[in-house]
Structure 1
């Protein structure tokens, strides 16, 4: 659900020509935010370096080879399958008209509302050997055991690729459709005049022009796949993320987990570099010239129904099937009765953590974006870049890197409190879910900064220059001009961050205090006990809450002005 903000930040901005100084306290705040983001990485490297020398050879011999191969295969598979789904469906609904196109445009992004781990649990319940599909086949065909027939194994690497792809393809779909919508019809008409087929139009014109946005969408999908822990673990795929979790909690080796996490950072850096390479030396700017956008070409006969099937299948697999299963289990098992005081407490904990994290993220984002708007120097540019890196950190890596600094801070405050009062204070951050909120802030800060920067970049700098000429102070500039102009972007970013916090599993699972449950960890707990159906109500609540920002995202994307883009050769300095 972060692809719109990310894509906007990648498209470019309108740089100010004047560089002005900002107050020292604002500079200090900007530096503090940058340090907050890089702190987990530094702590992670320190933990890994302090580990026993015998751990690393053991990891190289027994853990890293299989985990690295599985992670690499998973990412390549998701890039191919999710990329194919996202690009194909985006081009079909943009360039063609066929039965059901109008409703499919709205349905295709909806799988973003379903977390990957929930989809994995549901697919096992449906397609495993003891699931609904195979049981129905055995009853229908008279088969007695698995030896009598063959059925694809959902608890496998291909099964995990399928599950992640049907959930993550909307990142690529939204980015691709945004670029396809803004392409000028004149280019395609010239190609048609020269005899180019529909496939050739797509391959040599539409796809290359959409390359920068596609690079962003694919990289976001892969970063989400790398962050996943629930689906991979449940489907039996031993990724690096799963290995970090098992090494830390199940084997009690914090240093070993940190060393594996450092290997994960290589994947993160590689994905960022690939994304940068995918949109190298290209910037897509809005064209002020009069233009005509692409008009859908009607498809008839078998081609029309094939297009309908190709676009409906991802929606069926990624949204309708999981949501329908959750509704069925909730109603059949009378799980509405679970909405008791305990469930309400878990629900309120989830909402409370998400609301606090959203408010903190928006406040920090306003500070960073306002500072960058007032003075685009190397400090503010660097802070925005570093803030964008937080989203690239997988939840397990982030949690592991935060553990030592947070415990150290709690011990430091506790020591001071004991000297002053003679009493023990206990854990201030780790014992009151402060660690979870900090992890949310670091991980989702880039959503807010990208969205707010994109919103302000559409405003002419002359408006602020006029306010300065009339004697407006910096504070008045921020409160009277910038924040009012950012209100739509603030609302969109708040929705996205709020729901992403509700869905986040790895960081929440690793940093939660004892006896603290959120909706995501509640679903994970039921699934780890082999009773996922008992967590259907919590899973359904997560999905229903997630639908709100997805629908708003689709609405804003479909109703925005359709403008043409033109490619220029220039260096791209936007954040990942």
Structure 2
């Protein structure tokens, strides 16, 4: 095996597309390389203080959030995915797509929305005081347990979507065999379906954990110190770059540890599925109390994770939109949609070059380069921001000194705090979001048309433009749409790298909520949520399109 890999590396095809591939990978790797080399300078002046006072809280809180939210999202996502995929009950078709809707609500938005609902002047406490005037309201949501519950409401769709895709693509023969052997639905699920679906479920949980470790808005608003809030504190409050680097490295260690444990646990096992034995499956027909229970299980996360927050945001927006809507608000919308649109286009373009280079060259070298290029989504936004700021500040200092010698004038920062740096950071973080659908588009096209064009004298670039791109417009559009929404929602990275006085919908919503102007922040938040619904509906339809259960009900 090792010899085969050596031969594969020795046969690397060096062409212009290989050069493009290497350039992209080196650019994407800048934040990680920056953090890695920054560690050799040693800890900053504040590191001993951080280590002796708050580092333990950063570790324990991050662990508690990861474990708690991971467990709740598995419980909610897997159970709801199983019910809508294999059972017949009232409202099933509605829940199939509606259960993904909470994904449109960023964590920081649901945090301050529920904080407003539970506030003294919020609707919940007003009703409570009306019904129980002599009893104090003692329920406190502003703590780590509140963060775990609230983030689980909006992150479970990651597990739901991947688990549902696995369940509806399971071979019907597997479940039918369990029925023939007299297994109950629970036993079929636990003994047969769940082990085969484990990779898909773990993939969904991995996305959840990446989002948890990336979160800044919710934990900051609820006063829960984590690695992300620690990076902000070290950078902005303490002015200690080296301590921010060390915290970033520890946070990346958390991410890599989790990914490594999953690989070790999986080992060399494969999860093959039997296909072609049957193309349909009669759903489990639920009766009586079971139907009601399943309806409640599916309705609860949808209500708490989407319906209640959206209704509350709509109510606040209706009350405050006249005072908020103005030139500044429309400029903020233009800022948000502009940077999101530019990033989406650049991400699709870079993903297209990357995927096409891999398709042309193949081999282990291209596969490794692809993994490195796509690592950005696993890196929390705050870490990417720190990793980009450090080399850019060094470049700025060099440019400033050079221009001062030439012109004799003292100039300010040139690249730092620019839109260029912000968009580049978005590209690093969300490239994989555009790459995955692009890669799938190339796989569906196959090699035949490209080979036929090459025999007719078409070069690689002409094949890409004339053949591949027209045939994969849908995949490219899907990738661009997903990147657009992710950029629109991104908070920690934007807070660190945005130009001075440059507001997006995300930063403005968080700023207003932090200033106790929760009702006013709802206008920006509602636009983010409504925009985020579009790709979610598309995602649900893509999952349903491949369902083996459609039309199989009795």
TM-score by length of 1: 0.89
2:204 and 2:370 map into 1 onto residues whose CA distance is 20
* 1:235-384 equivalent positions in 2, closer than 5 A: 235-277=222-264, 280-281=267-268, 289=276, 291-333=278-320, 335-384=321-370
Q: Helix, strand or coil: the match of 1:458?
A: helix
Q: Does 1:402 align with 2:402?
A: no
Q: Shift of residue 237 of structure 1?
A: 1.4
TM-superposed deviation, 1:371: 0.3
Q: Is the 8 A contact 1:336 1:537 kept in 2?
A: no
Asked if the contact 1:429/1:435 (under 8 Å) is kept, the reply is yes
Instruction: State the Cα distance separating 1:475 from its structure 2 match.
Output: 1.5
Aligned with 1:190 (options 177, 199, 207): 177
For 2:352, what is the secondary structure of its paired residue? helix
Query: Contact 1:365–1:449 (CA<8 Å) still a contact in 2?
Result: yes
Residue 466 of structure 1, CA deviation = 2.7
Per the alignment, do residues 49 and 142 of structure 1 end up closer, same or farther by CA in structure 2, a change over 3 Å counting? same
Q: Would the aligned equivalents of 1:91 and 1:180 in 2 still touch at CA under 8 Å?
A: yes
Shift of 1:99: 1.2
Q: Is the contact made by 1:428 and 1:434 (CA closer than 8 Å) also made in structure 2?
A: no
* SS of residue matched to 1:471: coil
Q: CA deviation at 1:455?
A: 2.1
Q: Hey, what does 1:4 align to over in structure 2?
A: none
Q: Name the residue aligned to 2:426.
A: 440
Please name the residue that 1:226 is paired with. Answer: 213
8 Å contact from structure 1 (residues 175, 213) kept in 2: yes
The structural deviation recorded for 1:57 is 3.2
Change (3 A) 1:138 1:513: same
Q: Which residue of structure 1 lines up, in the alignment, with residue 28 of structure 2?
A: 37
Aligned length: 543
Of 532, 546, 550, the residue aligned with 1:560 is 546
- 1:260-305 Cα shifts (integer Å, max 9, x gaps): 1111011110222244346543556787735223332221111001
Distance 1:25-1:422 versus aligned 2 partners, 3 A rule? farther
Contact 2:44 2:242 in 1 (8 A): no
Q: Which of 191, 200, 219 is equivalent to 2:187? A: 200
Query: What is the distance in 2 between the residues matched to 1:462 and 1:282?
Result: 33
CA RMSD after TM alignment: 2.4
CA distance in 1, matches of 2:282, 2:399: 63
Does 275-284 or 384-393 show the bigger shift? Answer: 275-284
Q: Which residue of 2 aligns with 1:7?
A: none
Q: Does 1:512 align with 2:498?
A: yes
CA deviation vs aligned residue, 1:412-436 (integer Å, no higher than 9, x gap): 4445555566666643332432221
From the superposition, tell whether residues 415 and 112 of structure 1 become closer, same or farther in structure 2 (CA, over 3 Å).
same
Select the structure with the greater relative contact order (CA < 8 A; seq sep ≥ 6): 1
Q: Which runs of 5+ in 2 are unaligned?
A: 1-7
- Cα distance in 2 for partners of 1:210, 1:408 equals 48
Cα deviation digits, residues 450-498 of structure 1 (max 9, x gap): 1211222233323333333333221122112222232111011111000
Q: Which residue of 2 aligns with 1:180?
A: 167
Counterpart for residue 508 of structure 2? 522
**Contact between 2:143 and 2:224, CA under 8 Å: does it hold in 1?**
yes
2: distance between equivalents of 1:152 and 1:79?
Answer: 24
- Counterpart residue number, 1:61: 52
Q: 1:77 aligns with which of 57, 62, 68?
A: 68
User: In 2, Cα distance between the equivalents of 1:129 and 1:195?
Assistant: 55
Residues of 2 paired with 1:448 and 1:278: CA distance?
29
How far apart are the structure 2 equivalents of 1:28 and 1:464?
21
Kept in 1, the 8 Å contact 2:282–2:549? The answer is no
Among candidates 112, 115, 139, match of residue 106 of structure 2: 115
TM-score by length of 2: 0.93
Kept in 1, the 8 Å contact 2:43–2:246? The answer is: no
